Amino acid sequence: MSKGVHYSAEKILHCNERFFVPPEREGNSMLEGQVRIPSGCAIAAVISKEGRRMTGEMIIDAMRPMRDRSNGLGGGFAGYGIYPEYRDFYALHMFFDSRATRKDCEAFLKERFEIVKSEIIPTRKVPAITDEPIIWRYFVDPLKSVLASMQLDEKEFVARTVMKINDEMKGAYVFSSGKNMGTFKAVGFPEDVGVFYRLDEYEGYSWTAHGRYPTNTPGWWGGAHPFSLLDWSVVHNGEISSYDANRRFIEMYGYKCTMKTDTEVITYIMDYLIRVQGLTLDEAAKVVAAPFWSTIEGETDAEYKNKCVYLRTFFSSLLVTGPFSIVLGYNGGLMALNDRLKLRSMVVGEKDDRVFIASEEASIRAMQPDAENVWAPAGGEAVIVKAKEGAY
């Protein structure tokens, strides 16, 4: 639109979680640029490379300056290193719609796992968080006899169990399933969600966070970010146009995209590429945000060029197109990645042994006012930060 077009403040319409502003009236109008239409969603993350644990207060604070990037339809966090006393067990975080569903699901779990601990996830009352489901967690160990009979390793077995529950058990949803980590999410603004889940009482060496501004799916507890499978968790700002192609490919390998959302499919893509196919983080990034063919053609390093050609050709259906910035959390590190054209903002900063990632520098300054080396990664450039081996 040309500069100077007037928007009626009374005619700002909310349509499918998007704002459409018709330039219809001159009275009580607002000029272009005076209406805040953020580029959707807020992401933030922090990690200590020395494995030093920090409470969830810092990551909650990171979300406060970015409140206008959310609309209250979803917020969430993932913390790593938060369950040291149960580090050897898978922590299943679950939503249930009723006690009967929980009992049925628990009976199913007992057929497959030793349940070491079962409890409600502690929360505190927050006026802004309402209509919560039953929120439960189980610390479990796969039964060796079942693993032997199914001829599966632990991680594949847990992943298949998660898919089965989420796809077949109505009223039950596993939203976190890793070791020594946990995802916490709800309908609400992220700073309220963090208080609701009492994240100030948890300590972890790495945290990620998300404030949701949904565009294609409704706001509900299961649809909030992060999306998790095993120890992978993904927070995402953007909207991928390749969802259907990505989903069709990944579902051929046993994944069930029950949420019908792009962030879920990105999580499963990362699990497939890294855990199943054995790619490195950097190689997975070159699949998801593959270099342009023109860039590959101009590459002078023959070995690197051949690798890029192979990854882009062999995993062509897992190229993610459209605007996105994501942070992938995993046991021992974080990876931040933009789409190739950098259509969504992402900033990185450092201070001492900590690395900060966020949609906006204001978020980094909320976590660390004197952060240093603040910079914006290039499109398609993977920023990989790892905690020192053994520190976590």
In this prediction, residue 291 carries a pLDDT of 95
342-380 pLDDT per residue, tens: 988 899 999 999 999 999 999 999 999 999 999 999 999
**Signed CA dihedral, 112, 116, 118, 121: sign only:** negative
Whether 141 and 251 share a structural domain? yes
Whether residue 261 is contained in a domain is answered as yes
Choose, from 15, 41, 105, 257, the residue flagged as catalytic.
41
Active site residue 41: yes
Whether 296 and 339 share a structural domain? yes
Whether residue 276 is contained in a domain is answered as yes
Q: How far is CA 291 from the centre of its chain?
A: 23
Whether residue 392 is contained in a domain is answered as no
Whether 46 and 18 share a structural domain? no
Whether residue 161 is contained in a domain is answered as yes
**How high is the mean pLDDT of the chain?**
88
In this prediction, residue 224 carries a pLDDT of 81
Whether residue 391 is contained in a domain is answered as no
- Asked whether 387 and 180 are in contact (CB, 8 A), the reply is no
Whether 230 and 158 share a structural domain? yes
- pLDDT of 27 strictly over 60: no
For residue 214, name the pLDDT band (cuts at 50, 70, 90). Answer: low
Whether 26 and 83 share a structural domain? no
193-212 pLDDT per residue, tens: 999 999 999 999 999 998 87
Whether 229 and 347 share a structural domain? yes
For residue 15, name the pLDDT band (cuts at 50, 70, 90). Answer: very low
Please tell me the least confidently modeled range out of 80-84, 86-90, 128-132.
128-132
Whether residue 234 is contained in a domain is answered as yes
Whether 51 and 33 share a structural domain? no
| Residue 62, token pair as written in the block | 């990171």
Whether 90 and 3 share a structural domain? no
The structural domain count of the chain equals: 2
Whether 51 and 16 share a structural domain? no
Crossing angle of the two packed helices 243-251 and 262-270, in degrees rounded to 10: 50
- pLDDT of 1 strictly over 90: no
Whether 65 and 116 share a structural domain? yes
Whether 91 and 229 share a structural domain? yes
| Residue 53, token pair as written in the block | 């644990």
Whether residue 117 is contained in a domain is answered as yes
Please tell me the least confidently modeled range out of 80-89, 208-217, 262-271, 345-354.
208-217
144-189 pLDDT per residue, tens: 999 999 999 999 999 999 999 999 999 999 999 999 999 999 999 9
Whether 107 and 212 share a structural domain? yes
In this prediction, residue 217 carries a pLDDT of 62
- Asked whether 331 and 319 are in contact (CB, 8 A), the reply is no
* Domain residue limits at 19: 1-37
